Structure 1
Amino acid sequence: MSTNIYDRLKELNIVLPPVPPQNVASYVMSVQTGNVVFVSGHIAKKDGAVWVGKLGDNITTEEGKAAARSIGIDLINTLHAHTGDLNKITRIVKLTGLVNSTQTFTEHHLVINGCSNLLNEVFGKVGVHARAAFGVAQIPLGSCVEIEMVVEVAASN
Structure 2
Amino acid sequence: MIHEIRENGRETAPIFPKVKALIPIREAGEFVYVSGHGPEDINTYEPLYRGRVGADLTLEEGRQAAAECGKTLLRAIQEQYGTLDCIRSLVRALILVNCGEGFEAVGEVADGFSDLCVEVLQERGRHVRTVMGTRNMPNHNIPVEVELIFRLAEGYGAKEE
Give me the TM-score of the superposition, normalised by structure 1: 0.85
Runs of at least 5 residues in structure 2 that lack an aligned partner in the other structure: 7-11
Distance of 1:103 and 1:155 partners within structure 2: 45
Q: Is the 8 A contact 1:112 1:133 kept in 2?
A: yes
The residue type paired with residue 40 of structure 2 is K
User: Are positions 1:39 and 2:34 aligned together?
Assistant: yes
Partner of residue 91 from structure 1, selected from 89, 92, 95:
89
Number of aligned residue pairs? 147
Distance of 1:129 and 1:39 partners within structure 2: 14
Superposition deviation, residue 131 in structure 1: 0.5
Q: 1:6 aligns to what?
A: none
Distance of 1:96 and 1:65 partners within structure 2: 15
Q: Is the 8 A contact 2:55 2:101 kept in 1?
A: no
The residue type paired with residue 28 of structure 1 is I
User: Are positions 1:144 and 2:133 aligned together?
Assistant: no
Distance of 1:110 and 1:79 partners within structure 2: 25
Partner of residue 104 from structure 2, selected from 103, 106, 120:
106
Distance of 2:57 and 2:120 partners within structure 1: 26
Q: 1:69 aligns to what?
A: 67
The residue type paired with residue 4 of structure 2 is I
Distance of 1:26 and 1:142 partners within structure 2: 21
Distance of 1:130 and 1:27 partners within structure 2: 25
Q: How big is the alpha-carbon RMSD for the aligned residues of Structure 1 and Structure 2?
A: 1.9
Q: Is the 8 A contact 2:15 2:75 kept in 1?
A: no
Superposed CA deviations along residues 68-108 of structure 1, whole A, max 9, x for unmatched, are 11111000001112222211210000111001112310010
Q: Percent identity?
A: 27
Q: Is the 8 A contact 1:22 1:29 kept in 2?
A: no
Partner of residue 56 from structure 2, selected from 49, 55, 58:
58
Superposition deviation, residue 55 in structure 1: 1.1
The residue type paired with residue 121 of structure 1 is E
Distance of 1:108 and 1:85 partners within structure 2: 31
Please identify, of 78-87 and 45-54, the stretch whose mean Cα deviation from structure 2 is larger: 45-54
Q: Is the 8 A contact 1:22 1:28 kept in 2?
A: no
User: Are positions 1:18 and 2:8 aligned together?
Assistant: no
Runs of at least 5 residues in structure 1 that lack an aligned partner in the other structure: 1-8
Give me the TM-score of the superposition, normalised by structure 2: 0.83
